[in-house]
């Protein structure tokens, strides 16, 4: 796994976040519009905190971690319902 550079120590671009999570950049951008459902049932939209010098959207790594954790929890919580 390659290291993902952070901008200003706590900001990450959408392509880097996609690479880090194993999702597509299109999925990351969907999180900024539709959001994700958190384990407590609320919807959380990933906020865009700025743009880098190339025009890529920047996200706070703490916000990104919250969304990734919610997606992981939802994905693993249904593991017992999958029939082989």
Q: What is the pLDDT of residues 31-69, one digit of tens each?
A: 999 998 887 888 999 999 988 888 889 999 999 988 888
Q: Report if residue 35 sits inside a domain.
A: yes
Count of alpha carbons within 13 Å of 79, Cβ hemisphere only? 6
Task: Give the pLDDT band (50/70/90) at residue 84.
Answer: very low
pLDDT band at 74 (very low <50, low <70, confident <90, very high): low
The reply to whether 82 falls in a domain is: no
Q: Identify whether 2 is part of a domain.
A: no
Whole-model pTM: value is 0.72
pLDDT at 83: 47
Residue range of the domain that includes 70: 11-77
């Amino acid at each position: 796994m390659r290291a993902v550079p952070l901008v200003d120590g706590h900001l990450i671009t959408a392509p880097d976040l996609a690479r880090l999570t194993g999702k597509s950049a299109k999925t990351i951008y969907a999180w900024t519009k539709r959001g994700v459902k958190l384990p407590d049932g609320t919807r959380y939209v990933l906020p865009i905190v700025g743009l880098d010098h190339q025009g890529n959207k920047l996200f706070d790594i703490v916000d990104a971690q919250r969304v990734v954790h919610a997606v992981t929890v939802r994905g693993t919580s249904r593991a017992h319902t999958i029939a082989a």
